[in-house]
Structure formats: structure tokens, C-alpha cells
Amino acid sequence: MKPTLTLFCPDAALPAGTQGTICPDRTETIAMRILIVEDEPHLGAAVQERVRQAGHTVDWFTTLDDARAALAAVRYDCLLLDLGLPDGSGRTLLREIRNTPSPMAILITTAEDQISERIAGLSEGADDYLAKPYDLEELVARIAAVARRYRPLVDNRLAVGDIEIDLDRKRLTRAGQTIDLTAREWALLELLARRPGAICSRERIEDALYSLEEEVGSNTIEVFVSRVRKKLGADLIRTVRGRGYCLEPSQTA
């Protein structure tokens, strides 16, 4: 059973005291699946939208119970966790996660005067913190920074056959020709290109491309695969019936 979702309202104003604006440019970083746990509605909506614009897939919940349900259903790369929540302290969830082998990066947020809470959160395993009110651009930069610490050995330039992928610059070429992809087409290609030859299931692709609140049609993934094939060539992605898709290096040479 999916947790109750708090939907993003595109017309929501930035909360009072929150600096920065929601900008359409993308931060050059690896796309991640991010869980936001924040009970203040305007702040949560603003953060969700800005982090999405930075190229990440985002789920937003307002309680510890819903966050636990989401964590049980989805593999997240990063958690943005408010410590003051209506059904308990975010530190409880922080300790629960750090008592598991999960490699998830965790950023905590607190009111500006709660220094002792920040210190305790860092001692209990948080990777970074932000004091409210915080700047949205600083938040995106800090997410990128913890991502680099958790993925220090990732090569952000991939080559598969005559395909060259620069993940930092979101730049793709084939046989020297630059090719433009939408955000989700790019996320699909990146997912497959990181493990060329390995089969990626439809469910794993859905998790990478869509948040829990989004409805995914029965043929949606097939449509995205078809679009990428059309732009890069039909020989790039192989369908493994009943199992998923893979990028075949031997077919791109």
C-alpha cells in the first residue's frame, strides 16, 4: 500500500524567510532519487520543485510514517530530513536508517536556533545540515556535494561504442554529432549506460524516472525506449523479453 502523498502545488509561493528563487537551470550533477521529509507545505513544495529542476526524481512526504513506507518501497540515493515533524523527531528516522547498511546520503534541516539538534544529528550519521531559512540554490549545491562524496569513484564520462556521454555537462554525442534528449530520456540512457550489457528491469527504470505520486502507463517505458532508439539508432537498446532492457556495446560499435 502506497503512503498518502502530499502533492506539489505549482502555484505555491515560497515560504516567508526563504531566500532564493526557483530557477529553470540544471545543476551539473548525477541524477538521483531523493526523498524529502518536510511538514511545512510551502517550503516542501518549493524544495520539491527546485530539486526536480536540478534533474532529480523527488518524492515529498510530511510525516515519519509516510517516509518509512516510502523507504520500504523505493531505493533512494539521498534523504532531505526535517528534524521537527508532527509525529516525532527526524532523528529517530535518521538512527533507524544508519542502523541498516543503506548507503543513502542524508541532509538534515532544523530551525536556526536548534544548534544542539544539528550537532546531535551529525553525530548520529547525517552527512550535512541546513539551518532554516535556507537558500534553495545552496540546497541544490549541498545535494550535489554529498552525492560526490557518496559516489567518488564514478566516472562521469562514459563511452559505449560510438556513443559518448558526459554526465557532468549533460552532453551526448554519437559519431561526433550532438544529440538532445529530454530529462527523462537522459535519465533512462544514463541508467542503462552505467552498466552496459546488464539487464535493467522495467520496475527499476520506473523507479529512476518517476516519483511515487506519478501514474505510469502500461506502455510508458516502452515509449521512452522507442524515443531514445529513434534519436540514437535502433541498435542501441536491446529488449530482453520478460526481463527488461540493456545497452549492448557490441551493437553500437
> 138-164, pLDDT tens digit by residue?
999 999 888 878 764 455 677 777 878
Higher pLDDT, 87 or 218: 87
> 77-114, pLDDT tens digit by residue?
899 999 999 999 999 999 999 999 888 899 999 886 77
Residue 2 has pLDDT above 60, yes or no: no
Task: Assign 125 a pLDDT band (cuts: 50, 70, 90).
Answer: very high
Mean residue pLDDT across the chain:
80
Distance in angstroms (rounded) separating the CA atoms of residues 96 and 36: 16
Q: Which three cell numbers stand for residue 129?
A: 545540515
- Give CA separation, 207 vs 19, 43, 203, in Å: 31, 24, 6
The closest of 125, 77, 75 to 105, measured between CA atoms, is 77
Task: Assign 207 a pLDDT band (cuts: 50, 70, 90).
Answer: confident
CATH no., domain 33-150: 3.40.50.2300
Residue 173 has pLDDT above 70, yes or no: yes
Mean pLDDT of 1-5: 37
Q: Where are the domains of the chain?
A: 33-150, 157-252
DSSP conformational letter for 251: H
Determine the angle formed by the axes of helices 202-209 and 183-193, rounding to 10 degrees. Answer: 130
Residue 20 has pLDDT above 60, yes or no: no
Residue 250 has pLDDT above 70, yes or no: no
Instruction: Look at residue 57 in the predicted model and tell me its pLDDT.
Output: 87
Question: pTM value?
Answer: 0.61
Instruction: Look at residue 25 in the predicted model and tell me its pLDDT.
Output: 38
In terms of Cβ atoms closer than 10 Å to its own Cβ (0-12, 13-18, 19+), residue 86 is exposed
Residues 141, 146, 147, 151, CA torsion sign: positive
Higher pLDDT, 104 or 1: 104
Q: 105: part of which helix (H) or strand (E)?
A: strand 105-111
CATH class given for the domain over 157-252: mainly alpha
Instruction: Look at residue 11 in the predicted model and tell me its pLDDT.
Output: 32
Mean pLDDT of 167-189: 83
Number of Cβ atoms within 10 Å of the Cβ of 44 = 23
How much of the chain exceeds pLDDT 70, in percent? Answer: 83
Residue 50 has pLDDT above 50, yes or no: yes
Contacts 24+ apart (CB under 8 A), 94-103: 94/121, 94/124, 94/125, 94/126, 95/124, 95/125, 96/68, 97/71, 97/125, 98/124, 98/125, 103/150
Higher pLDDT, 195 or 48: 48
Higher pLDDT, 80 or 5: 80
Which residue in this structure is represented by grid cell 530551525?
A: 111
Task: Assign 8 a pLDDT band (cuts: 50, 70, 90).
Answer: very low
Task: Assign 3 a pLDDT band (cuts: 50, 70, 90).
Answer: very low
Instruction: Look at residue 30 in the predicted model and tell me its pLDDT.
Output: 66
| Number of alpha carbons in the 13 Å side-chain half-sphere of residue 102 | 21
Residue 116 has pLDDT above 60, yes or no: yes
